[in-house]
């Protein structure tokens, strides 16, 4: 990371994604004739790391892969994306994380993940000071064990590094983890679950959920798809931003692109509103198939 500072550390998941295109997603017991399939780099951690690097900041990834073909693919993609993979462990005899995602004709999708080595990341690797050199932000997600996230947040806090949690997929958050988070990013489903049931059916609902979440987090960001983004801060300030008008191609990975671009803007010292605007635009281009 010596070429430029400050930087980002991402602790999280790496998945070999198998993408399937189909007219619609199958109902229980239904077999659907698909159009095509293709492999893709994935995992929320990996996607966010690559997105942040693409936005122009130095990124280190801490994670784990198996000594299989999937692991080799994932490591190669990180390097090609200008992400430092020095702190990604290869675990002998273990299977890398993977997922199968079905994208339908509307551009929406559903997925199943098999976590594999993502649940075996060694917290002791957080003690390496080389991991944190020149770093201003830690990024976490919910595709690794909460204990790993807590350990990472503590290690970051001990070094004066801010912590961003993309709480996806949804699961209840312990107070031990919540207390270590500076920025929370959630989508509509996650916001409703974490805010105690505030519905995010439009941008007003997103702002209400963000305000509720800001009681527990210094900054809460709620992405509401085509309705836009809502942001609230613990100091009582809040604002919304409409979604950019685009032609939808696929929503797959949009949240990860938003998160990566957002944290890259924050560590580049952009104001919060400008960071959200930049991330919103980057995610819109991704959804439109323009990146």
What is the set of active-site residues?
256
Task: Provide CB contacts within 8 A for 276, sequence distance 6+.
Answer: 221, 229, 231, 241, 262
The secondary element (H helix, E strand) that includes residue 92 is none
Give the CA angle between residues 290, 19, 254 to the nearest 5°.
Answer: 40
Q: Where does the chain have alpha helices with state H?
A: 44-54, 69-80, 129-132, 146-158, 175-178, 188-194, 203-213, 254-267, 272-287
Nearest to 58 by CA among 130, 110, 132, 135: 135
Estimate to the nearest angstrom the gap between the alpha carbon of 2 and the chain centroid: 25
As separate numbers, helices (DSSP H) first and strands (DSSP E) second, the chain gives: 9, 13
> Is 283 exposed, middle or buried (CB count within 10 Å of its CB: 0-12, 13-18, 19+)?
buried
What are the backbone angles phi and psi of residue 9, rounded to the nearest 5°? -110, 130
Cα(275)–Cα(270) distance, rounded to whole angstroms? 6
Nearest to 227 by CA among 210, 244, 252, 247: 244
């Amino acid at each position: 990371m010596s070429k430029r500072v400050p930087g980002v550390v991402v602790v999280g998941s790496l998945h070999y994604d198998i993408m399937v295109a189909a007219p619609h997603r199958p109902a229980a017991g239904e077999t659907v004739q698909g159009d095509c399939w293709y492999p893709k780099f994935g995992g929320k951690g990996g996607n966010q790391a690559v997105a942040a690097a693409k936005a122009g900041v130095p990124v280190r990834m801490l994670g784990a892969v198996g000594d299989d073909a999937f692991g080799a693919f994932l490591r190669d993609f990180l390097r090609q994306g200008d992400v430092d993979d020095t702190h990604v462990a290869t675990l002998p005899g273990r299977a890398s994380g993977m997922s199968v995602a079905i994208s339908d004709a509307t551009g929406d999708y559903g997925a199943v993940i098999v976590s594999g080595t993502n649940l075996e990341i060694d917290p002791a690797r957080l003690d390496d000071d080389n991991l944190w050199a020149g770093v201003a932000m830690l990024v976490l997600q919910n595709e690794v064990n909460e204990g790993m996230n807590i350990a990472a947040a503590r290690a970051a806090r001990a070094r004066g590094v801010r912590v961003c949690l993309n709480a996806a997929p949804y699961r209840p958050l312990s107070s031990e983890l919540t207390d270590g988070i500076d920025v929370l990013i959630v989508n509509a489903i996650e916001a409703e679950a974490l805010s105690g049931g505030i519905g995010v059916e439009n941008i007003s609902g997103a702002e209400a959920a963000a305000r509720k979440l800001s009681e527990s987090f210094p900054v809460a960001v709620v992405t509401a798809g085509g309705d836009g983004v809502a942001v609230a801060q613990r100091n009582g300030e809040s604002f919304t931003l409409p979604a950019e008008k685009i032609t939808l191609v696929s929503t797959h990975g949009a949240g990860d692109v938003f998160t990566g671009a957002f944290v890259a803007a924050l560590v580049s010292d952009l104001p919060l509103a400008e960071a959200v605007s930049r991330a919103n635009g980057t995610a819109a281009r991704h959804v439109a198939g323009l990146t």
